[in-house]
Amino acid sequence: MSYDLAARMTVWRHHLHSYPELSCQETGTAAYVSAELEALGIPHWGGIGGHGIVAQLVRGQGRSIGLRADMDALPIAETTGAVYASCHAGVMHACGHDGHTASLLGAAQWLRDDPDWQGTINFIFQPAEEGFGGAEAMLDDGLLTRFPMSQIFGYHNWPGLPLGTVALHAGPVMAAAANFVVTLHGRAGHAAMPHLTADPVQGLAHLIVALNTIPARNIDPLEAGIISTCTLSAGEARNQIPDSAIASGTMRALSETTMTLLQTRLADLARHTAAAHNLTAELKIFSTLAATVNHSEAADLAEAAARAAGLQVRRDLPPSMAAEDFGRFLQDIPGAYAWIGNGPSASLHNPNYDYNDELLPVAARYLTATAKAALAKKASA
C-alpha cells in the first residue's frame, strides 16, 4: 500500500469522525461516501435500505463477492479531545464505524488499481447497524437481487487485541440480541393503604429476580445466554403506589435456539409473576439481531488470505456476547466476520474511544486480500 492511500484513508476517517450521524440519519455520511466513490471513479448506487450504498468493481468473468462496512454512530458525548472530535453534540463514532467505512473505501481504491483479480466485488456501506436493522433493510430492498454475491466478508476493530492482529472464529463470533420492555399494570393507591392497591413495584422486583433464573436454570451450562435488566421506571410520589412499573433490558445468546428459549421464558415469567401479584403484564420484544456465526470454510479462506498478506492471525479467542448486524447477512450468504486489533484503547461504546489510524492500512489489506482469495478460489474450482 502506498503512503498516499494510507494518508487518504486517515483524512476520510477524520472527516467521518467529526460529523457522525445516528442510525437511520446517515444523510451526510452517505453523501460523503458517494462523493468519494465518485472521485475514485467507482460505480455505486445509493438509497438501498435507507442510506445504504453499494459500489461495484467488475473485471472479466468470475464469481461475485461482497465486502461490508457499517456507517452509523452512537448517542454518546465524546470526551477524546481529538482535533477531529465530533462536531455534533451528544453523537460520536464510539464503535469505530468511521474507520470501517474509511478502510472499505481504501480497499475499493486498492482493488481498483490492482490488476490481479477477476470477477465482481460489491462494496456494501451499511446504515443503521446499531440495533436498527440496517442489514435487514438492505436485504428487504433487494440487495441480493440487484447485487448477487456468493460470499460476504467484514470486520470489526477490537480494542485490547494487539494492533493489526486478525481474529477469526470457525462458528459463533458475536451473539444474537433482542431488547425488551415489560410493563406491569396494577391499581394505584395510598402507600399507607397497600391492601387497597395492586402493587406493580413489588411485582416488578420479584420479576427482575426471577429473570436471572432463566440463564441459571433453563439453559445448558455449556451454552451462553444472558438477560440483563437495565432500566426501571415507576411512580412519581413517595407516598403513592403507582398503577404501573416498567423495566427494560437486553438478552443475548450465541444460538437461535437459546434466544428463542430466553424470549419464551421471559414471556412466561412476566405473565405468571404478574398474576401472582394481582397484576397484568405487557411485554414488547424488539430490535432483534441474529447471531453472527461464521461459515467455517469462509473463515479458513480469510485466515489463509490474511496470513499470505503478512498479517498475524489468531483462531483461539472465545466469541463475544456483544451483537453485530452482520449476522443477518450470514443467514443468507456464506461468509466470515473478523476482529482486527485496535491495540490498547478505550473500550467500544466508551466516550473516550477512538479508532486507531494505524489500523486503517491493515484493515484495507485484510479486506483486499480476502476479496482476491475468495474470487480466486471459485475461479479455479
Backbone angles phi, psi at 328, to 5 degrees: -65, -40
| DSSP letters spanning 119-177 | EEEEEEEE--TTTS-HHHHHHHTTHHHHS--SEEEEEEEEETSPTT-EE--SSEEEEEE
**Interacting residues of 2 by C-beta distance below 8 A, sequence separation 6+:** none
CB 70 within 8 A of CB 101: yes
Question: What is residue 379's predicted lDDT score, i.e. its pLDDT?
Answer: 47
Residue pLDDT, tens place only, 173-221 = 999 999 999 999 999 999 999 999 999 999 999 999 999 999 999 999 9
Q: pLDDT band at 287, cuts 50/70/90?
A: confident
Domains parsed from the chain with CATH numbers: 3-171+294-379 (3.40.630.10), 176-289 (3.30.70.360)
DSSP state letter for 194? G
Quote the CA–CA distance of 378 and 381 in Å, as a whole number.
5
Greatest CA separation for the chain: 81
Its pTM stands at: 0.93
- Angle, CA of 375, 380 and 381, to the nearest 5°: 105
Quote the CA–CA distance of 212 and 217 in Å, as a whole number.
9
pLDDT over 70 at 2, yes or no: no
**Interacting residues of 213 by C-beta distance below 8 A, sequence separation 6+:** none
Q: pLDDT band at 377, cuts 50/70/90?
A: confident
**Amino acid letter for position 281:** A
Element at 326 (helix H, strand E): helix 326-332
Question: All 3 cell numbers of residue 205?
Answer: 422486583
Indicate the burial class of 325 (C-beta count within 10 angstroms; 0-12, 13-18, 19 or more).
buried
Residue pLDDT, tens place only, 33-49 = 999 999 999 999 999 99
Quote the CA–CA distance of 210 and 162 in Å, as a whole number.
40
Quote the CA–CA distance of 45 and 278 in Å, as a whole number.
56
Q: How many CB atoms lie within 10 A of CB 126?
A: 32
Question: What is residue 378's predicted lDDT score, i.e. its pLDDT?
Answer: 56
**Amino acid letter for position 121:** I
**Mean pLDDT value across the chain:** 96
| DSSP letters spanning 198-259 | B-HHHHHHHHHHHHTHHHHHHS-TTS-EEEEEEEEEE-S-TTEE-SEEEEEEEEEESSHHHH
- Quick one: how far is CA 43 from the chain centroid? 26
Residue pLDDT, tens place only, 69-124 = 999 999 999 999 999 999 999 999 999 999 999 999 999 999 999 999 999 999 99
Quote the CA–CA distance of 364 and 115 in Å, as a whole number.
16
CB 32 within 8 A of CB 15: yes
**Interacting residues of 195 by C-beta distance below 8 A, sequence separation 6+:** none
pLDDT over 60 at 285, yes or no: yes
Mean pLDDT of 321-333: 97
Question: What is residue 380's predicted lDDT score, i.e. its pLDDT?
Answer: 44
